[in-house]
């Protein structure tokens, strides 16, 4: 993709995610069910954190494209390194996990992840933006431009740290409020919950490896231009 076209694309997706976050943050408070958005607000949900992550990633990508357009190559290299690290370690595996895991659980029993009470709060288009559109956009990003993946140990270590922080956040909320972020967690014993978190991490690692595989298959090892 030409750099000017890529710049426009990243700009549009960046603005789109900002709009989605704005729409989500400005849902009318009086319409929210009492059990939703209490301690931790909306920032306890992986879906919302992923939207913020995607906005940051596309903002960094847009900045990298602009620097390349104005020939600030030294600065561009630094920003591109940050962009690639964000995409490989977080943006692709997290968005893929959010979309696939949500719709699997939603199909099985939506009350476990998205209670019907939310239908009166979050419009359908916003639900699909949060849980559906993130997946094709992640794959489109791989097709749009190559990304340099970090060394495997470094990438998986950073992914593990991010996962640990989110699980710690979820457990802290339960410790403070006595309520789980997702009703699904209440159905597990402590051992079962540990197994669920471990298996979820394993799935995210698979998505990380899959993203690296696709990037290598499409772009090879050496097509990284500045």
Question: Quick check: 31 pLDDT over 60?
Answer: no
76-110 confidence digits (pLDDT tens): 888 999 999 999 999 999 999 999 999 999 999 99
Regarding predicted confidence, which is higher, 226 or 122?
Answer: 122
Using a pLDDT cut of 70, give the percent of the chain over it: 92
Question: Quick check: 113 pLDDT over 90?
Answer: no
N-terminal to C-terminal alpha carbon distance within the chain: 13
Query: How high does pLDDT run on average in the chain?
Result: 89
Residue 37 Ramachandran class (φ > 0 left, ψ -120 to 50 alpha, else beta):
left
Q: How confident is the model at residue 22 (pLDDT cuts 50, 70, 90)?
A: very high
117-151 confidence digits (pLDDT tens): 888 888 999 999 999 999 999 999 999 999 999 99
> Per residue, what are the HEC states of the chain?
CCHHHHHHHHHHHHHHHHHHHHHHHCCCHHHCCCCCCCCCHHHHCHHHHHHHHHHHHHHHHHHHHHHHHCCCHHHHHHHHHHHHHHHHHHHHHHHHHHHHHHHHHHHHHHHHCCCHHHHHCCCHHHHHHHHCCHHHHHHHHHHHCCCCCCCHHHHHHHHHHHHHHHHHHHHHHHHHHCCCCCHHHHHCCHHHHHHHHHHHHHHHHHHHHHHHHHHHHHHCCCCCCC
The pLDDT of residue 30 is 55
The pLDDT of residue 71 is 78
Rg (CA), the chain: 19
168-221 confidence digits (pLDDT tens): 999 999 998 888 888 899 999 999 999 999 999 999 999 999 999 999 999 986
Question: Quick check: 36 pLDDT over 80?
Answer: no
The pLDDT of residue 26 is 83
**If we measure between CA atoms, which residue out of 89, 90, 65 comes closest to residue 76?**
65
- Output 148-157 pairs: Cβ under 8 A, ≥24 positions apart: 148/80, 148/81, 148/84, 148/88, 148/224, 149/84, 149/88, 149/212, 149/215, 150/84, 150/85, 150/88, 150/89, 155/88, 155/89, 155/208, 155/212, 156/205, 156/208
Regarding predicted confidence, which is higher, 211 or 222?
Answer: 211
The pLDDT of residue 222 is 47
The pLDDT of residue 225 is 45
Q: How confident is the model at residue 53 (pLDDT cuts 50, 70, 90)?
A: very high
């Amino acid at each position: 993709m030409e750099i000017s076209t890529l710049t426009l694309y990243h700009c549009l997706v960046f603005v789109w995610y900002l709009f989605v976050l704005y729409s989500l943050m400005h849902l009318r408070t009086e319409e929210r069910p009492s059990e939703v958005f209490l301690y931790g607000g909306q920032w306890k949900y992986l879906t919302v954190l992923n939207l913020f992550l995607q906005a940051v990633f596309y903002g960094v990508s847009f900045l990298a494209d602009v620097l390349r357009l104005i020939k600030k190559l030294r600065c561009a290299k630094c920003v591109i390194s940050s962009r690639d690290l964000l995409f490989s370690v977080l943006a692709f595996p997290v968005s893929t996990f959010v979309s696939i895991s949500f719709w699997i659980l939603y199909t099985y029993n939506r009350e476990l992840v998205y209670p019907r009470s939310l239908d009166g709060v979050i419009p359908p288009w916003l639900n699909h933006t949060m849980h559906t559109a993130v997946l094709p956009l992640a794959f489109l990003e791989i097709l749009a431009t190559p990304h340099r993946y970090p060394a495997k140990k470094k990438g998986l270590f950073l992914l593990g740290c991010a996962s640990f922080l989110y699980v710690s956040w979820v457990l802290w909320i339960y410790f403070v409020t006595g309520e789980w972020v997702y009703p699904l967690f209440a159905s597990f014993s402590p051992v079962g919950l540990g197994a669920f978190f471990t298996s979820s991490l394993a799935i995210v690692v698979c998505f990380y490896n899959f993203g690296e595989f696709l990037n290598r298959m499409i772009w090879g090892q050496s097509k990284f231009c500045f």
